[in-house]
Structures are given as C-alpha cells and as structure tokens.
Structure 1
Amino acid sequence: MILLANIVYSQSKIYAFVGKKISVERVKSDDSFYLKYKNIYKVEQSFDNEIKADTVVFNSFTHMNQIHYSIYDYAIIYVVKNDKGDFVHKRTYFTPIVLKENGKWYGFELNEKKPENYLPVKPYKLCIKNSRKTAKVIIPKFKKQKHIVEAFYPSQFFEYVNKNTVKARFLQPAENLIKQKF
C-alpha cells in the first residue's frame, strides 16, 4: 500500500509556493508506519495558478520524525493533491528561502556542494535563533550549536557570525531553484 501511494504521488502534478510557516504540529496518523503533521503556511508567492488562497493547510508524512522544512521560517514547499483534492506535502521536499530583497525571494539547496551557480549577495545578517530552537526539538541529536549551523546553514552559502547569526554569501532567486526541481 505504501509503495502504491509513493507511485501515485510521484506521478502527480506538483504545485510549489514560497510559504511562511505559521504552524507545524504532529497529529494522529491513520498509518502506524508514518508520522503525520498538519502544516499551515501563509502563501508569500505561488508558482502555480492552482494555489489561490493566502494560506495553505496540508499534511505531511514521515517515518523519521524529522520535518526539516519546519526549521526555516520560509521555504518553497512542494505539494500534490490527493484523491479528495487536498494538498499533501510531497515526501517532505522543500527548498529553504532566507531572504527577500527588491520583491524577490532568495534561497539555496541544502545538498548543493558548489556555489558556482549562485549569486553573491551583499553580506546579509540572518538571525537564526528560532531555527536553532526548532532544530533542537525535532532533531535532538544536534546538541551543539555548531552542528545545527553546519547542517542547516552550510558554509558554502553562509558565514558563521555567532550562535544566533549567520551571514548569507551566495543565494539563488526562488524561480531558479524551482526550475532545478522540475
């Protein structure tokens, strides 16, 4: 059944939007293998005409108890529609968004190793205090501040300033990051 669900969702149309986290809370799941989360995000920018509301409520499922996108205040979230027409998060795919400048959103790919395709940005200080708190809750194995910063604000894109602050060095516009996913 899980394999069937993965096949169906992998062939579904994907909808993407830049969202601001309002809440991410664990709720009771119908399936004992997966943990279920109810997510509420404010839509800051939609990349598809299907997302018309200013707020999107969607469920996400994981079996690892690690909802990494919830660490960031903003992210590009990729969702699909289920049989009932409700949005469901697609295998917890997301792209962190950390900066809005001149009306454009900028972010990075966590698993990108080289910043060659990224734009240098003027040194922009980013407060990560809330991100650190969220990371400690959902990933308790990260005990040290440095591990959280390294995992969620990689050195190829950010410079460590102190435990609550990093400086953005290289980012990409959200539109470019979306194109890479499709």
Structure 2
Amino acid sequence: MAFDVRPLTTDRFEDFADVVNPNRRATHCWCLSHRLPARRIEELGDGDRERAMRCLVAGDVPPGVIGYADGEPVGWCSIAPRSEIPKLEASRLIRPVDEVAVWSIICVVIRGGHRKRGHTLPLLEGAVAYAASRGAPAVEAHPVEPTGRMDTTMAFVGTRAMFAAAGFEVVGTTDAVASRLPRLVMRRTMGPTR
C-alpha cells in the first residue's frame, strides 16, 4: 500500500471533508473548535463553519495535512505553528514548556472504515516531515496516558504510545485533562537531539 501525506490546500478541501465530515453536517467541528475562538469562526464563515474552514485553508499556512492510502483520503492531522493556533497560544492549561517555536498537533483523525489499518503512524510521520519542510524546529502534541479503556469520543487527542511510535518524547505535562486523564507534552525535535 502506498501512503502519501499532503498539505491541505483549497484543491484538496473535499478530501479533507471526506475524512472529517463525510456527511457534511453544518454544525460539525470542521476542526475549527480548538483552533479559533467562536467569534472568529463566525467572522470568517458568516455562521457557516465549512466556509470558515475554507477561509482558513486559503491562508498562507495550510492548517494541516491529509493522508492518502493508495490515493484515497483516509487521515487528517491538524498541525501548524503554535503561534498560529490562538486558542492553544492563549491556553492557561497547556502552556509552552520553553521558548522553542514549536509546531503543534491538535487533532488526528482516521476516516471511518479505515481505522486499525496502520494509517496513524505514516500520517504522523508525514505531518512531522511537512512541518520540518516549513522550518519547524520541533513538533509537539498533547496526548493522554490512558490507564484502561479510553473514552473514544476523545480519541482525537491521541495516546502516548501513538506519538512515541512516531519518535515523540515526553517533555512535560499540562494542567489540561481529557476523559479525566492528564495530558502530556510530547515533542519530536528536528535534526540532532539535545
């Protein structure tokens, strides 16, 4: 199977929608909720979340990458410079661990019907490669450390094992929780490790 990862651009918007919102529900997240405050979503889309995401995609920095298995869109990873994710940048619960201008992964989705086929790891690796190609010194994620079965409604945050498999290391913890579990700060540094 060939797996390819591409930045989300306007010409790939339908592929993105097929992964995150195949039924095109107007009230669905569209991967905006963690990226922008509600008033900015309203400004961009005039009440239409899909339109707001289309505006975000048309900007200078794509808001993430799409994973393709044999040419079919199967995954989404929201990744961008932390400084361009206002809700994360302003968070009092997920504070920066240092001054490194990291890129952040805030969402990972594998399309229904394509899960448990090994797509997550190449999607994460492709997202990191994309960030590196844009000059990112490091990529961070904030997964949970499940102690048992995880609430799958929060699975988008990922797990420690998932990110560790992609070369991320724990560099701290946050004050945020998901499914009553603390979130970690995991980082993959580009180039030589410290």
TM-score (norm 2): 0.30
Higher strand proportion (structure 1 or 2): 1
TM-score (norm 1): 0.32
Higher helix proportion (structure 1 or 2): 2
